[in-house]
Amino acid sequence: MIEAVVFDLDGVLVESEELWDAAREQLARERGGRWHDRAQQDMMGMSSVEWSRYMHDEIGLQEPPEEISVEVVRRLDALYRERLPLIDGAREAVERVGRGWPLAVASSSNRPIIDLVLELAGLESSFAVTVSSEEVARGKPAPDVYLEAAARLGVPPARCVAIEDSRNGIRSARAAEMCVVAIPNRAFPPGEDALGSADVVVESLEELTPELVSACG
């Protein structure tokens, strides 16, 4: 029986992967880094600790990883305050599912960004728990952020449904032994191997219904 639902944030509730990618690429080019086509895919799902270290070590930025992370977050903060790229149907899906189960967020975004998105979207009170991967040992595709969300909810991971959009996110939730509902990211779609490991694949949040969640049990 399903006892909780855990949402990813980027690509599930906000259309933000391209904004993260653009902010990091812009910073890399401004600071003389060696940006390459594989960078976005490499960093997708990494925690802030991991991707800022990647920007330092692999992209070649001279600033310490901590400063890189702060600067990218500053740029995202400004963009979100100007216009939050909330995905169509996000509020309705959260409210619909939240009537039946406690909800959590398990995100690779930095803590300030998670809090800002939920505040701007008016969804702060909808989630009993929010976890940033910077608060656990490893980012996605490791299961840590999902395991932590389940622990804070007080629910066994196997009785949680995870809502994900990306390859590393699907792998993370699967490694946590959650039931995985995949809504493929349109800009950076997961491969067929990742989608094949999801329990359910739907096209949009409109298809995320209480009946679908219950069927995962």
3 state DSSP class of 17: helix
Q: How confident is the model at residue 156 (pLDDT cuts 50, 70, 90)?
A: very high
- Can you give the pTM of this predicted structure? 0.91
pLDDT surpassing 90 at residue 28 = yes
Among 44, 66, 82, the domain-final residue is: 82
Q: Please tell me whether residues 102 and 195 are part of one structural domain.
A: yes
Q: pLDDT tens digit string along 113-151?
A: 999 999 999 999 999 999 999 999 999 999 999 999 999
Total number of domains in the chain: 2
Distance, CA of 134 to CA of 130 (rounded, Å): 12
Answer yes or no: do 35 and 109 share one domain: no
What is the strand order of the sheet 129-132 is part of? Answer: 129-132, 103-107, 4-7, 160-164, 179-182, 200-201
The verdict on 47 and 66 lying in the same domain is yes
The predicted model gives 77-99 an average pLDDT of 96
Q: What range does the domain containing 124 cover?
A: 4-15+85-215
Q: What is the CATH number of the domain that holds 24?
A: 1.10.150
* Token digits of residue 182: 């995949």
> Do both 61 and 115 map to the same domain?
no
